[in-house]
Amino acid sequence: MSKRTIVTMPGDGIGKTVLPEAIRVLEAAGFEADYVHADIGWEFWCKEGNPLPQRTIDLLEKHKLALFGAITSKPKAEAAKELAPELQDKGYVYYSPIVGLRQHFDLDICMRPCKTFKGNPLNFIRRGPGDTIEEPEVDVVIFRQNTEGLYVGVEWTNPPDEVYNALMTHPKMKKFAWSPKEELAISTRIFTKKYTERIVRAAFEYADKFGYKSVTVCEKPNVIRETSGMMLAIGKEVAAEYPHIQLWNTNIDAQMMWLTKNPEDYGVIVAGNMFGDIVSDGFAGLVGGLGFACSANIGKEVAIFEPTHGSAPKYETFDPPIVNPIAMILTACMMLDHIGENDKANKIRQAVADVIAEGKVRTYDMLKMRGSQDVIEKGAATTYQMTDAIIEKLK
């Protein structure tokens, strides 16, 4: 069998640190591939006016599979100020390249597993009866609709007349008639039946395949009646095909309270783009934070795998680096699962679990330290040492 080609997009900040560490682990587990670098991120926005160059899109079109590190995004005005002088005032507008990738390649299914590793000092604990301490085992997989919802970018400040006039035909808009049009900022939330059904069905198929007892639609249909209402209605239709799986319905605000009261009760959760983003970060906090949070962006042809942490640029220049590479390593495991290399993925996950359970090698976040260069002197492992420990367990 010929080697696979994996497009690697380190991106910004610590993405450049953790992605090579994941490749080290993949190679140690016996996975052979050719890795092709692709340009993406803030550097290319500043010097080219495009954080997602066409050459990168072309590589993904060709190879279909990618590992992605992290991205830096800044507000519109701040981003414009950082353009190269020759690009200033030329009409360039910054747009998140990962959002651009999701929409260009129709990566509509986002999976975000949040699973407890025994022995992780960052695991969520709570008080039980009689002042006992409980550490519930969390095993939740969030399915986030990735290409629609509030992140589609259909928005305006000072909307054009045709948009403004159309919106003013809605009775609820009358209350904003007092505002000058140039002082209005409007963002739309768009759901379609096709892609809402696709994400809901993917959630039920996953629950069925891996033995989860419930699928929870986490939206806000009592207030956002059209879009959230559509997802709940489709959830009920699909649930009828899976009578052995319970359909639960939670509102996003209540869910954020309940996830610290009874997180062990939940299995698969499905939500729109923004609420899926929120609830997945919430559950990630229960299993160690973003240093343990992995994700997959999956379309019909192309799949891109990324940790959910940001670029954390303040840590980029630390030498040696101190950031936790586990989220990126678990992300690489999701890629292995996607291409059928499940044995290698499970072998790596077990090595990660063994290192965490043993407790001898812990990065600064696992030791509950504030991130600074002197954490190594205080006993924290470097990024490289954590990777080395995982590789040692693979042997």
17 within 8 A of 383, measured Cβ to Cβ: yes
355 within 8 A of 316, measured Cβ to Cβ: no
Q: Name the pTM for this structure.
A: 0.92
148 within 8 A of 272, measured Cβ to Cβ: yes
Residue pLDDT, tens place only, 175-189: 999 999 999 999 999
Residue pLDDT, tens place only, 270-318: 999 999 999 999 999 999 998 999 999 999 999 999 999 999 999 999 9
DSSP-derived letter for residue 82 is: T
For 108, what's the count of Cα atoms within 13 Å in the CB-facing half-sphere? 18
Assess if CATH 3.55.50.30 describes domain 1-111+290-395: no
pLDDT of residue 77: 87
Q: How many CB atoms lie within 10 A of CB 40?
A: 28
Confidence of residue 72 (pLDDT cuts 50, 70, 90): very high
204 within 8 A of 236, measured Cβ to Cβ: no
**Cis-peptide, bond into residue 320, ω within 30° of zero:** yes
Dist CA 318 CA 357 (whole Å): 27
pLDDT of residue 1: 56
User: Does 2 score more than 80 pLDDT?
Assistant: no
Give alpha helix (H) positions in 49-192: 54-63, 76-81, 97-104, 161-167
In 3-state terms the chain splits into helix, strand, coil percentages (rounded to 5) of 45, 20, 40
Averaged pLDDT for residues 194-212 = 97
Residue pLDDT, tens place only, 8-54: 999 999 999 999 999 999 999 999 999 999 999 999 999 999 999 99
pLDDT of residue 76: 83
Domain boundaries, the chain: 1-111+290-395, 124-145+191-286, 154-187
Residues near 241 by beta carbon (within 8 Å), at least 6 away in sequence: 204
Long-range CB contact pairs, 253-261, < 8 A, 24+? 253/220, 255/216, 255/218, 255/279, 255/282, 256/282, 259/283, 259/286, 260/124, 260/126, 260/286, 261/126
Give, in degrees to the nearest 5, the angle at Cα 196 between 192 and 197: 115
The closest alpha carbon to 220, from 231, 207, 209, 206, belongs to 231
Dmax over Cα atoms in the chain, in whole Å?
Answer: 69
Dist CA 167 CA 164 (whole Å): 5
User: Does 145 score more than 90 pLDDT?
Assistant: yes
The closest alpha carbon to 98, from 374, 297, 367, 347, belongs to 297
User: Does 97 score more than 60 pLDDT?
Assistant: yes
Q: Please report where in the chains the tokens 């290399």 appear, as a residue.
A: 341
Averaged pLDDT for residues 228-249 = 98
Q: Please report where in the chains the tokens 């209402």 appear, as a residue.
A: 229
- Full strand arrangement of the beta sheet holding 246-251: 33-37, 4-11, 65-70, 303-307, 294-298, 109-115, 139-145, 268-271, 214-219, 246-251
Averaged pLDDT for residues 216-232 = 98
For 276, what's the count of Cα atoms within 13 Å in the CB-facing half-sphere? 34
In the CATH scheme, what is the code of domain 124-145+191-286? 3.40.50
Averaged pLDDT for residues 194-199 = 98
Averaged pLDDT for residues 67-82 = 92
Q: What is the mean pLDDT of the chain?
A: 96
